[in-house]
């Protein structure tokens, strides 16, 4: 746990990963996930998500998803990835920016585990 001040704790840093752009052998522009552009998502938090799948016969709990919540309107795209404690997560669907109950703006996205 990292401490800023007495009694205050912070969550580990969370980063947005965006593919850099390079040129392939044929001269075409392609995404380069070997060297992504890394940007911190300030004050971001993640929550575990459990989904229950029910096919009428069996109920299964599907794990491996998280909910990303970032204060403010954040530059986050469906093609980006998110790094949390060294693990890379893909954004599932489109990130959504909303106004909360206390008139605060926040961005949220569902994350699924990625191998790259």
Q: Residue 29: which CATH number?
A: 2.40.10
Which pLDDT belongs to residue 49?
78
In-domain check, residue 3: no
What's the total number of domains in the chain? 1
In-domain check, residue 2: no
pLDDT digits (tens, 9 = 90+) for 2-28: 334 444 446 789 999 999 999 988 999
* pTM of structure: 0.74
In-domain check, residue 48: yes
Percent of the chain exceeding pLDDT 70 equals 75
pLDDT digits (tens, 9 = 90+) for 54-91: 666 666 556 678 999 999 999 999 999 999 999 999 99
Look at residue 43 and tell me whether its pLDDT is greater than 80. yes
In-domain check, residue 13: yes
Computed over every residue of the chain, the mean pLDDT equals: 82
Burial class for 111, CB neighbours closer than 10 Å (0-12, 13-18, 19+):
buried
Domain span at 89: 9-113
């Amino acid at each position: 746990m990292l401490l800023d001040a007495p009694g205050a704790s912070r969550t580990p840093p969370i980063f947005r990963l965006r593919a850099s752009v390079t040129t392939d052998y044929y001269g075409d522009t392609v995404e380069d996930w070997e060297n992504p552009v890394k940007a911190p998502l300030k004050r971001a938090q993640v929550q575990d998500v459990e989904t229950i799948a029910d096919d009428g016969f069996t109920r299964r709990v599907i794990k491996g998803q998280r909910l990303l919540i970032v204060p403010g309107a954040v530059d986050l795209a469906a093609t980006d990835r998110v790094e949390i404690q060294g693990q890379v997560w893909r954004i599932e669907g489109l990130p959504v920016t909303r106004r909360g109950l206390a008139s605060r703006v926040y961005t949220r996205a569902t994350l699924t585990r990625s191998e790259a």
